[in-house]
Amino acid sequence: MADAALVRPRRPSGHRRREAWAHRLFVSPIVLAIVVLGVYPLLFILAAAFSDSSLGKPFREWVGTSNFETILADADVVASFWRTVAYAVAVSFVSVVAGVLVAVALERATHAGSVVRTVLLLPLITPPVVVGTLWKLVFNPGGGLLDTLLQGTGADAASVAPLSSTVWALPAIGLADVWQWTPLVALLVYAALLTQDPAVREAAALDGAHGLRLFGHITWPAIAATVAAVFFIRLVIALKVFDLPFIMTSGGPGQASTTTSYLIYQVALKEFDIGRASAITLVFAVVVTAVSLPVAAITRRLAHD
């Protein structure tokens, strides 16, 4: 903060230097975290991608770009990229729409107390492994919640088994994903709504603005930047999805719900091929960047408006 620096009284430079060193000491754990969890894995993966590497013996031999040639020619790998991106965009869109609805409703419902807010937050803090288990039980053919409800309506005699369907497995995982993460969207957008000046809304309401007009002219401009930022966060979380396919379908049936994170896990820790897994990771990093950069750019523009 510039004004803080101006207010500070003049000091001997030795003192100033000692302070600067203290600040450097303070941020050193952050640098360590970035090195251990960012720089080091990235260098490791770069080296592994260009070499013949197994889990036990990394970097056995330099093989140039052959790992990349293999994976880009592999239809399963390329399909997992498209599948993951489509999945991430779809679940992000659905949970942002649902989350904004819930946030606006929370703000408009004056009687909604802290109990309601806490209950609505529960999915967010439920361990993903439990979320996967929960929805696997709901989708359980023959006796699961969904099957029992559908049998009750008498619509179809055959039992429904979305998790063993090549068409429905991924949407079913997506539903669990939306259930888990919509509360995060609702929470952040709700917080943004609370920053609004209530007087502005009241004035608009007195002028006769209601419903959609009120939302479009008063509420939406106030939360647009937050919604864009939340969409970005949500998209990144969805692109990384691993736990839910792991628990609910093990990537199946066939490859129907194999997201790229799950594929990397399979190649690295089931086939022990670290070289190929690293190459997939690097290409996926490019895909993630390509998908999330435009969203990040929109977020930044809205935030500066």
Q: Which is nearer to other proteins, 170 or 190 (CB)?
A: 190
- Number of residues assigned to the chain: 305
Q: Least CB distance from residue 301 to other proteins, whole Å?
A: 18
* Total residues binding other proteins (CB under 8 A): 102
What is the end-to-end Cα distance of the chain in Å, rounded? 22
CB-based contacts of 170, cutoff 8 Å, min separation 6: 83, 87, 256, 257
Peptide bond into 253 cis (omega under 30): yes
Does 254 interact with other proteins (rule: CB under 8 A)? no
258 to 297, contacts with other proteins by CB under 8 A? Answer: 260-261, 264-265, 268-269, 274, 277, 281, 284-285, 288-289, 292
Binding mask 127-166 for other proteins (x = CB under 8 A): xxxx--xxx-xx-x-xx-x-xx--x---------------
- What x/- string results for residues 41 through 60 when contact with other proteins is judged by CB under 8 A? xx-xx--x------x--x--
Q: Which one of the spans 6-14, 88-96, 165-173, 216-224 is the region binding other proteins (CB under 8 A)? A: 6-14
State yes or no: residue 86 binds other proteins (CB under 8 A).
Answer: no
167/183 Cα distance (integer angstroms): 27
For residue 76, the minimal CB distance to other proteins (Å) is 17
Minimum CB–partner distance for residue 251 and other proteins (Å): 13
Q: Which is nearer to other proteins, 51 or 292 (CB)?
A: 292
Provide the 10 A C-beta neighbour count for residue 220.
14
Among 77, 120, 170, 230, binds other proteins (CB under 8 A): 120
Judge whether 53 and 59 are in contact, CB under 8 Å.
yes
Is residue 122 part of the contact set for other proteins (CB under 8 A)? yes
Query: Residue 168 or 242: which CB sits closer to other proteins?
Result: 242
103 sits in the region (left: phi over 0; alpha: psi -120 to 50; else beta) called alpha
The amino acid at 279: A
Supply 148's token pair. Answer: 């029992």
What tokens appear for 198 in the block?
A: 């209530």
The Cα-based distances of 44 to 53, 99, 279 in angstroms read 11, 38, 11
Question: What residues contact 95, with CB distance under 8 A and at least 6 apart?
Answer: 177, 178, 181, 182, 185, 234
Among 247, 256, 279, 295, binds other proteins (CB under 8 A): 247
Within 23-42, the residues that bind other proteins by CB under 8 A are: 23-27, 29-34, 36-38, 40-42
Residue 284: alpha-carbon gap to chain centroid: 15
Mask: binding to other proteins, 219-238, rule CB under 8 A, as x and -?
-----------------x--
Using only C-alpha atoms, what is the Rg of the chain?
Answer: 25
Whether the CB-CB separation of 282 and 49 falls below 8 Å is answered with yes
Cβ-based nearer residue to other proteins, 72 or 293: 293
Q: Which stretch binds other proteins (CB under 8 A): 63-71, 86-94, 184-192, 297-305?
A: 184-192
**Choice from 76, 156, 202, 271 touching other proteins (CB under 8 A):** 202
Distance CA 62, CA 79 (A): 27
